[in-house]
Structure 1
Amino acid sequence: MIEELLRRHSPKFHGMKEVYRVIHQENPVTKAKLLERTNMTQTTVVRHLEELKQYGLIRIASYDESTGGRPPALYDIEPKAAFIIGIALSRAETTVTIVDMSFQPVAEETFAMTEDHTPVLTISLLKQTITSLLEQSQIDKKDVLGIGIGTVGPLDRTKGTMYPEGFTAPGWEEVEIVDEMEKAFGLNVYLENGANTAALYESLQRGRGNESILYCISGWGLRCGVLTNGTIMQSRQGDASSFGNMIIDASSGRTLSSFISYHHLAGEVQRLRNIPETKVDKNDVMQYVLQELGNRNPMVESIVLSSAYYYGVGLANMINVLHPEIVVLNSELIKVSSAYYEKVIQTAKRFISRIDQQHPVFQAADDKVNPTAVGACILAFHSKFS
C-alpha cells in the first residue's frame, strides 16, 4: 500500500505523503502538531489521516492528556506496513538487513568477503541472501520500499557504479551494482558511502535529525562520513576515504591511514617478531593483534597505542575543520581495547582548536546492529520521501 502512496504524484497523494513523513519523524504526534508542521488546513489533515489509516500506514497509538474535553489522539506509523532492505558492503564482510518502517531490524545475515568474492559472486550472494531473508520473514516483495547500499568508495551515485579500493578479490574496478540489483528485484536501489549511511543511523539514534556528525570507520583503511545539519556532505568522487589521505608527517609525507590502518599494525607486528612479509597473511596477523590486545600483550599494546596517538592528531584536524557536534568511532580495536579508544580521544582533545568553544561529544559506535546497513535503509526511506 505504501508503494501506491509514493507512486502517485497528485496534490492529494503529495499531501498524504507529507503528513506521513511528519508522523514518521515526530511519532507519536497530535493532530495539532501536524497542523503546525504541515501548514495544512484542519479539514485537509483530518482527511489525510483517515486515508492513511485506511491504507494501514498509521494508527492511533494512544491518547494524550486532556486539558478539558476529549483527549487528543496520538498518531504513529504502523511499523509492519512496509519494509526496507539495507546492505553494508565492505572489504571484510557484507551484511544484509531488513527493517520495518520504524527501522527496527526484522532479519539479518552476514557473509565474509574473501579473495574469492568477486563482484559476480558477491552480487549473486546478495540476491540469494535477500530472497532467502524475505522468504524466512514471510515478506512479499511488493511490501518492500526499496534497497539502500552503504559501501566503500569511490562510487558514482548517479550511475549507481562502484570503483572501490582495497578488495582482495579481482574485478572490483567498475561495478554496476545498482543496475544489477534493480533488475533482480524491480525495486529502487540507492547507493552511498557506508560511512555516510552509518552517520545517518547515528542521527536517527539521537532523534533530532539536524545534528552535525563525524562518523569514522577505521580498519584496513579509514572512511569518514559527515552529516551537516542532518544532511550528508557528499564528495563528487563518492570517496569517504579522503580524510585518511591527510598528511600527518610532513617530512616523510606519510598519511593518517598509513599510521592507523591494519596494514600498518600488521606490518609493525611482523617487523618486531622478525616475520618476513611474504611468509604470513596480514589477515592472520591482525587476528593475532586483536587477540593479544585483549590479552594485554605489552608489545601489541605499545604498537596499537602509538597508532592511537596519530589517530587522535588526525581526528583533531577533522574536528577543527568540520566542527561536528558528535564524533563516533567505529573499529574492532575499540571493541577490544578501551585504552586505545581513550588514547585517541585524549590526544584529539589536546589538539582541538578553541576547545573552550566547541565541545564535541565523543562515543564508540553501537555494536548491537550494523549501523551501515540500517543507515542504508534510512537512506532509502529519505530518498523515497524527499
Structure 2
Amino acid sequence: MAPTRTGSKRLLHDLNQSIVFNLIMEHQAISRIKLARKSGLPASTITKIVGNLLAAGLVLEVSADESSGGRRPVLLSINASAGYVVGVRLREATITLTICDLQCNSTYTRECSYQPGTAPQQVITIMATAIRDLVAEAGLTMQQIFGVGIGLSGLIDSARGLCRVSTILGWQNVELGPALERQLKIPVRVDNDVNTLSIAEHLFGQGREADNFLLVTIGRGIGMGIVLGGAIYRGSFGGAGEFGHMTVDVRPDAPLCNCGKRGCLEALASDYGIVRTALGTDPGHAIEDAIVNLIARAHAGESEIVAIFRQAGITMGIAIANLINIFEPSHILIAGEGLRAGDLFLEPMRQTIPRHTFDARDDIELLICPTSDDLWARGAASLILHEIFQSPIYEDEEALALDDLVSQASKAQKHHKK
C-alpha cells in the first residue's frame, strides 16, 4: 500500500473536496443540507467547496427536490460534460479509441489499424495522431481533455507508464505513457487492460456495490483483475493477475502457450487454446475467424468440437474454483470475447465450479458481463476518472488531484467560451 500523506491544510482541503465531489457523484442529485449531513462537514465548508466546483463547471444546480414545507432545496449534480477523457484499447493490429464524459459515458468512438510488428514508437505516433483526430471530430479541443488512459495486455508498470512485456504486441520495456505525454502534452495513464476494465466495473458497472471481486476475462488470452478493499491489487511490480499463465497441465507434451511455456490455463481454455486444440496449429492473426467457425461447427452438431469447448469450460471451472478458495470474493465477473461461445463453454464451467470449491460455496455471485472493444476503451478511460474520484490520502506524485482538476476545468471553460 502506498504511504499516506502527512497532515496539512492542503491534505484536509483535498480530502474534504474529494468527499463532497464523490457524494454528489454517488447520489447523482443531492442538496447542500444532505451533503453536510452525510459528510459531517460544516455548512460553511460545504458552501466554499460547492462554490469552487460550481465555478469550475464540474457541478451543476439542477431541479429542486420535493419539499416537506418551506423553500424547496436546490440539488447539486455532476456536470458530466464539464470535461472529457480519452480511453484507448491497444491490440496487436487495431487501436480502439473513445471519448468519455465524467460519468464514463462514451460520446464518440473510432477505430484505426496498423501493421502487426510496427515499431513501438511508430505505434505511439499513430496513437497520438488518432487521439487528436478523434477529439477534433467530436467537436472538442485538447484543452477539454483531462487525460488519456491506455489499456493493453501484458505486464505493465502503471506507476511509470511502462510496458514491461506484452507477448501479443511483442513489446519489451516500452515507455508508452511518458512518450505519449510528450506528444499530447496532457496526462497519460497506462495499465493492463483487464485492470482498466475492472476499475470501470467497480466505478460504474456490476462491481459497483462490491469491495472484493475478481474480473476474469476470456478471449485470445485469459486475464484477471483483482479488486480488494475497493482498490485494484497490482502486486509488487505490476504483474498481479496473470491468471492465464498458471500451470494446469504438467505433462511434458502439454499444449504450448503463447508465452513459450507448456500447460498454461491460457493454452487450454482461451480462444487460442481451443482453436489450437481443434486445428492442431497456431491460428495467428486469424484467430477470431477461426473461433467463430468452430462455434458454428459445434452448433451444427460436430461432437468432437463440442467436446473441446466442454473440456475448456471444465478446465476454466476448476481454475475459478481455486480462485474462490484463495480470495473468497463476493462476486466473480466473467467478461471478454470468449463469451461468444455461450453455453458451449459457460455451462460446463458453471457445473464444475461448485464441485471444486471448499465447502461447496454457493453464496458467491457469478456474473456474466458481455464486452466490446468500446467497453474495453471505456475501461481505459476510467484510469483517469478513477484518479478524479479517489481519496487524496495517499502519496502519489503522478496522481491528478481534484484540486488540479478544478483549476483545469476553470481554464478549459474560459478557453471554450472564447
Report TM bin, short chain.
0.7 to 0.9
Q: What is the identity, as a one-letter code, of the residue corresponding to 1:35?
A: A
Provide closer, same or farther for how the CA distance between residues 114 and 236 of structure 1 changes in structure 2, counting only shifts above 3 A: farther
Counterpart amino acid of residue 233 in structure 1: Y
Higher relative contact order (CA 8 A, sep 6+): 2
Worse overlay, 28-37 or 82-91: 28-37
Structure 2 Cα separation of the partners of residues 369 and 282 of structure 1: 20
1:227-268 alpha-carbon deviations (Å, 9 max, x no partner): 113210111232255222323235558332221133322222
Equivalences for residues 3-18 of structure 1 within 5 A:
15-18=16-19
Whole-angstrom CA distance in 2 between matches of 1:332 and 1:218: 6
**Counterpart contact for 1:197–1:371, Cα < 8 Å:** no
CA contact (8 A) 2:153 2:168 kept: no
1:353 matched to which residue of 2? Answer: 358
Structure 1 residue 355: Cα displacement: 3.4
1:181 match: 180
Query: Which position in structure 1 is the counterpart of 2:310?
Result: 305
Amino acid at match of 2:359: R
> How many angstroms apart in 2 are the aligned matches of 1:376 and 1:330?
15
- The partner residue of 1:318 within 323, 334, 339 is 323
**Counterpart secondary structure, 1:174:** strand
Confirm or deny: 8 A CA contact 2:210 2:331 kept in the other structure. no
1:23–1:75 Cα contact (<8 Å) kept? yes
Counterpart in the other structure of 1:283: 285
Aligned partner letter, 2:380:
A
Residue 267 in structure 1 maps to residue 267 in structure 2:
no
Q: 3-state SS of the aligned residue for 1:117?
A: coil
Alignment length, in residue pairs?
A: 369
Q: Distance in 1 between matches of 2:323 and 2:93?
A: 25
1:281 Cα deviation after fit: 4.2
Q: Deviations over 1:74-97 (max 9, x none)?
A: 211111110011122234643211
Q: Aligned runs of 1:57-136 on 2, under 5 Å? A: 57-91=58-92, 93-112=94-113, 114-136=115-137
Unaligned 5+ segments in structure 1 are 1-8, 272-276
1:253-300 C-alpha deviation (Å, 9 max, x unpaired): 8332221133322222223xxxxx4xx743335523322313514232
Kindly tell me: are residues 14 and 247 of structure 1, through their superposed partners in 2, closer, same or farther at Cα, counting changes over 3 Å? closer
- Counterpart-to-counterpart distance in 1, 2:185 and 2:26: 27
Q: 1:288 to 1:152 in 2, by over 3 A?
A: closer
Which of the numbers 384, 409, 412 marks the counterpart of 1:380?
384
Single out whichever of 280-289 and 71-80 deviates more from structure 2.
280-289
The residue number in structure 1 matching 2:393 is none
Please report how far the alpha carbon of residue 382 of structure 1 lies from its aligned counterpart in structure 2 after TM superposition: 2.2
TM-score, structure 2 normalization: 0.80
Do the aligned residues in 1 keep the contact of 2:336 with 2:371 (CA within 8 Å)?
no
Question: How far is 1:369 from its partner?
Answer: 6.4
Query: Over residues 144-181 of structure 1, what are the superposed CA-to-partner deviations in whole Å (9 max), with x where a residue is unaligned?
Result: 1111122222122232210233225x5x1111111111
Q: Distance in 1 between matches of 2:343 and 2:101?
A: 33
Q: Distance in 2 between matches of 1:144 and 1:382?
A: 15
Residue range with higher mean Cα deviation, 140-149 or 331-340: 331-340
Contact 1:84–1:377 under 8 Å retained in 2: yes
Give 2:121's aligned amino acid. Answer: V
1:214–1:227 Cα contact (<8 Å) kept: yes
Q: Distance in 1 between matches of 2:337 and 2:208?
A: 28
Matching residue's letter, 2:295: L
Structure 2 residue aligned with 1:213: 213
Range moving further from structure 2, 204-213 or 53-62: 204-213
Match of 1:201 in 2: 200
User: What does 1:239-250 align with in structure 2 at a 5 Å threshold?
Assistant: 239-240=239-240, 242-250=242-250
Partners of 2:218 and 2:372 in 1: how far apart?
18
Contact 1:312 1:348 in 2 (8 A): yes
Measured at CA, do residues 217 and 110 of structure 1 come closer, stay the same or move farther in structure 2, by a change above 3 Å? farther
Q: Secondary structure at the match of 2:165?
A: coil
Q: Please report the RMSD computed on the Cα atoms of aligned residues, expressed in angstroms.
A: 2.7
Any unmatched runs of 5+ in structure 2? 1-9, 255-262, 391-418
Q: Distance in 1 between matches of 2:51 and 2:161?
A: 38
- Per-residue Cα deviation, 1:77-128 (whole angstroms, up to 9, x for no partner): 1111100111222346432111011111111122356524331232122111
Conserved 8 A contact 1:193-1:240: no
Q: Give the equivalent residue in structure 2 for 1:293.
A: 295
Query: Percent of pairs identical after alignment?
Result: 22
Question: Structure 1 residues 113, 211: CA separation in 2 closer, same or farther (over 3 Å shift)?
Answer: farther
1:198 Cα deviation after fit: 0.7
- Write the distance in 2 (CA, Å) between the matches of 1:207 and 1:331: 16
